[in-house]
Amino acid sequence: MRSDDAYDSLRILLESVPEHRGARGLRHPIAEVLFIILVGVVCGQEDAEGIEEFALENEDWFRTRCGLKHGIPSQDTYLRVLAAMNPEAFEAAFRAWVTELWTHDEGRHIAIDGKTLRGSFDRAAGLSPVHSVAAYASELGLVLGGVTVEAKENEIVAIPRLLKLINVKGATVTIDAMGCQTAIARAVHEAGGYYLLHVKDNQPMLRGQVAAFFEDADRSRRPVDDPAPKVERVEDTDKDHGGLESRRCEVSHDLRWLDVQDAWTGLSSVVRITRSTEDVISGKRRADVGYFISNRPALTARQAQDLVRKHWAIENGLHWVLDVVFNEDHSRVRSGYAAKNLATIRRAVLNLISTAPSPRPRKSKFSNAHRRMIAALRPAYREAVLRLPP
């Protein structure tokens, strides 16, 4: 293979990252180091020592891909690169790579949520764990980008920064109660997207008015001059894991009663979702009610119900996978920017693994952990995951 073909579609991710090391004594190009780290994580390695050992065991394969003029870098080299590399520049390269490889049609759903890397704290240095906010395309199972919540700020500040970095035009963006802020709603609306925000006690006036509206709509006896507001409803019932779950979603576009409507850019509907669960063995019941606001025109109850359920895909499809499959919470890498940059690499690997072809054509269902194991054992599948030419 010609050396200029070595990284194929990964070149946009690897070679666009600025070199932060001085030229003197520089042995391994940054793209070469990042390529080995990326492949190591794809193949199930969680730390620098494991990445070095994997590279040594597969040295011939790596030489065909990136030359390795000076051999396999040491684990110290991986850690130094991760610790000193500019995380914003690396995240920008990651977003460009996602855009290059995957196109997104209008009408998609993007869930935004935060996650803490629990093992990244450094008590001796007085450093708290790294916390980040990620955007996740639920239908595609792709991480679109993320930003770190810096010290002395919170998700309310970080989310608008993330929204400026990703394309939300035509998408419906769902965010939990922390993101229910007028500035965030305005940012999504002005970017050409639709928001569906969870309203809780951090917006007491808005929540009180929405709750009062639906309570009024529930009244069966009404004066002649006070007709019931128009509310669309849809109900579902599921039985799973020994429990019976019922959901009722109600949507109204009648907002004449809402005093704070002007503060929420483009606001066009309010939503109430009532969820009740019953344990079929013990008979115990639990119920909760959630309120939401949206600027999506003609939002139906079915659409709202589906979007709220899709929002939790970021917990199951992203946070849970990173914790359980990638052991992210147990990672103690914390020097410099290493934790932030390694988090970006894990998300890049998750995109590659989750969108890779099946290891066996006649069997479509393979867990991410299984795919990583097969990539480690079978070079041909590793190349398919990495989108490298054979």
Same domain, 171 and 284: yes
**Mean pLDDT to the nearest integer, 214-237:** 86
Tell me the two tokens of residue 93: 């390269």
**Mean pLDDT to the nearest integer, 5-9:** 44
Query: Rounded to the nearest 5°, which phi and psi values hold at 171?
Result: -95, 155
At 84-129, the pLDDT tens digits run 888 888 888 887 777 776 665 555 899 998 877 654 445 555 555 6
Same domain, 18 and 75: yes
Same domain, 252 and 118: yes
Residue that wins the pLDDT comparison between 67 and 330? 67
Residue that wins the pLDDT comparison between 148 and 193? 193
Residues belonging to the chain = 390
pLDDT at position 242 is: 62
Report if residue 344 sits inside a domain: no
Same domain, 81 and 123: no
Q: How far apart (Å, rounded) are the C-alpha atoms in residues 252 and 156?
A: 27
- Whole-model pTM? 0.79
Q: How far apart (Å, rounded) are the C-alpha atoms in residues 214 and 291?
A: 10
pLDDT at position 43 is: 96
Q: How far apart (Å, rounded) are the C-alpha atoms in residues 255 and 257?
A: 5
Report if residue 128 sits inside a domain: yes
Same domain, 150 and 280: yes
Into how many domains does the chain fold? 2
Residue 97 amino acid letter: W
pLDDT at 333 over 70: no
Same domain, 238 and 262: yes
**Mean pLDDT to the nearest integer, 22-37:** 82
Same domain, 143 and 239: yes
Q: Rounded to whole angstroms, what are the CA distances from 231 to 127, 164, 341? A: 50, 34, 47
CA-wise closest residue to 353 among 43, 68, 122: 43
Q: Up-side HSE of residue 140: CA atoms within 13 Å toward CB? A: 23
pLDDT at position 215 is: 93
pLDDT at 294 over 80: yes
Same domain, 164 and 276: yes
Same domain, 104 and 209: yes
Q: Up-side HSE of residue 153: CA atoms within 13 Å toward CB? A: 16
Task: Kindly indicate the confidence band of residue 19, based on its pLDDT and cuts at 50, 70 and 90.
Answer: confident
Helices 59-66 and 48-57: crossing angle in degrees, nearest 10, is 90
Which letter, b or e, does each residue of 237-251 get, where b requires 16 or more Cβ atoms within 10 Å of its Cβ? eeeeeeeeeebbbbb
What DSSP string describes 29-58?
-HHHHHHHHHHHHHTT--SHHHHHHHHHHT
Same domain, 81 and 149: no
pLDDT at position 104 is: 57
Q: Which domain holds residue 124?
A: 100-220+228-320
> Given 268, 299, 320, which residue is the final one in a domain?
320
Report if residue 93 sits inside a domain: no
Beta bridge partners of 233: 250
> Given 292, 320, 348, which residue is the final one in a domain?
320
Same domain, 268 and 314: yes
Q: Please tell me whether residue 309 adopts helix, strand or coil conformation.
A: helix
Report if residue 214 sits inside a domain: yes
pLDDT at 5 over 50: no
pLDDT at position 121 is: 47
pLDDT at 7 over 60: no
Same domain, 258 and 365: no
At 42-78, the pLDDT tens digits run 999 988 999 999 999 999 999 988 878 889 999 999 9
